[in-house]
């Protein structure tokens, strides 16, 4: 890997996750792992449901508790006026499409009143929020999805070749902007490729095969931004090993 005409070290201790050298099977070399999940799992789970009755009323429920109801003369925009319902609909269009699919307030009886409304027992959207603390390990034990696990110990800092150019002692902590090479910034992004190798498309998650044998490649656009760290600045003063 080249970094502004600098060849970085190939020492495994500088990498957060590395394919086993010369293995050819795409498996990870866990012996050099110094990055892991400290704790985390399911934080919140909410069941949203949209249902309609024979009177033309459409109700959105949150964990079986009604949030809002419209009658047969009201449109979906009344439901979407609720901020929580709108968030669900912005992500799924479940509410908008449900109301649009139903016949409501149609047909006339002898008194010229509408009587026909389609009823449906509803569709459900399951909202799950998961949170994980990830980072460089310190050997401590964290709870991951309800199970106690030890986080690998971090034994090295980043590659010293990523440090800025050190011309003299005055540059040890030179944060001035007169030279972009004095102090550099870095951040950690999600890898764009799977462990299978870079021959797969960027953002590849896998493939689905239909009954007729057609293969569909599943990719995640902008996969690098799926999980990423805050940016940090790298001074010229750096060390190679913590232990």
- 93 lies in a domain? yes
Instruction: Count Cα atoms within 13 angstroms, Cβ side, for 79.
Output: 33
Higher pLDDT, 237 or 103: 103
Residues 47 and 20 in one domain: no
Residues 47 and 126 in one domain: yes
In this prediction, residue 229 carries a pLDDT of 78
Q: Give per-residue pLDDT as tens, 39-52.
A: 677 889 999 999 99
Residues 16 and 54 in one domain: no
Percentage of the chain modeled with pLDDT above 70: 55
In this prediction, residue 52 carries a pLDDT of 97
- 11 lies in a domain? yes
In this prediction, residue 18 carries a pLDDT of 37
In this prediction, residue 53 carries a pLDDT of 96
Burial 64-94 (b: 16+ CB within 10 A, else e): eeebbbbebebebebbbeeeebeebbeeeeb
Residues 123 and 106 in one domain: yes
In this prediction, residue 106 carries a pLDDT of 92
- 65 lies in a domain? yes
Residue 64 domain boundaries: 42-130
- 106 lies in a domain? yes
Residues 219 and 169 in one domain: yes
Place of tokens 């760290």: 229
pLDDT value at 105 more than 50: yes
Q: Give per-residue pLDDT as tens, 80-101.
A: 999 999 999 999 999 999 999 9
Closest CA to 66 of 77, 42, 82: 82
* C-alpha span between 195 and 25 (Å, rounded): 9
Per-residue confidence at 211, pLDDT binned at 50, 70, 90?
confident
For the beta carbon of residue 151, count every other beta carbon within 10 angstroms: 23
In this prediction, residue 25 carries a pLDDT of 45
DSSP code, position 230: P
* C-alpha span between 88 and 92 (Å, rounded): 6
Residues 112 and 46 in one domain: yes
DSSP code, position 28: B
Residues 13 and 53 in one domain: no
- For residues 142-162, give the mean pLDDT: 61
Residues 168 and 186 in one domain: yes
Residues 19 and 48 in one domain: no
Higher pLDDT, 150 or 218: 218
- 136 lies in a domain? no
The total number of structural domains in the chain stands at 2
Which stretch of 27-31, 127-131, 184-188 has the lowest confidence by average pLDDT? 27-31
Residues 68 and 33 in one domain: no
pLDDT value at 161 more than 60: yes
Residues 33 and 83 in one domain: no
Higher pLDDT, 22 or 67: 67
In this prediction, residue 210 carries a pLDDT of 84
- 24 lies in a domain? yes
Start-to-end CA span in the chain (Å): 26
| Segments in the chain forming alpha helices (H) | 76-80, 83-92, 94-101
Per-residue confidence at 118, pLDDT binned at 50, 70, 90?
very high
pTM tops 0.75: no
Which stretch of 29-33, 103-107, 146-150 has the lowest confidence by average pLDDT? 29-33
């Amino acid at each position: 890997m080249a970094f502004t005409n600098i060849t970085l070290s190939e020492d495994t201790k500088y990498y957060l996750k590395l394919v086993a050298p010369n293995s050819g099977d795409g498996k990870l070399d866990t012996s050099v792992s110094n990055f892991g999940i400290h704790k985390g799992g399911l934080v919140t789970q909410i069941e949203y449901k949209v249902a309609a009755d024979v009177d033309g009323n459409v109700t959105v429920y949150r964990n079986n508790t009604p949030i809002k109801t419209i009658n047969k003369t009201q449109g979906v925009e009344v439901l979407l006026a609720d901020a929580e319902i709108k968030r669900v609909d912005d992500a799924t269009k479940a509410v908008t499409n449900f109301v649009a699919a139903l016949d409501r307030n149609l047909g006339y009886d002898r008194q010229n009143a509408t009587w026909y409304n389609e009823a449906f027992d509803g569709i459900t959207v399951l909202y799950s929020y998961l949170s994980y603390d990830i980072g460089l390990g310190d050997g401590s034990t964290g709870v991951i999805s309800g199970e106690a696990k030890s986080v690998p110990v971090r034994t090295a800092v980043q590659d010293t070749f990523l440090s800025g150019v050190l011309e003299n002692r005055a540059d040890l902590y030179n944060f001035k902007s007169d030279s972009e090479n004095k102090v550099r910034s870095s951040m950690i992004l999600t890898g764009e490729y799977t462990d299978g190798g870079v021959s797969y498309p960027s953002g590849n998650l896998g493939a689905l095969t239909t009954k007729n044998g057609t293969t569909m490649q599943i990719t995640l656009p902008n996969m690098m931004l799926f999980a990423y760290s805050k940016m940090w600045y790298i001074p010229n003063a750096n060390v190679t090993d913590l232990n």
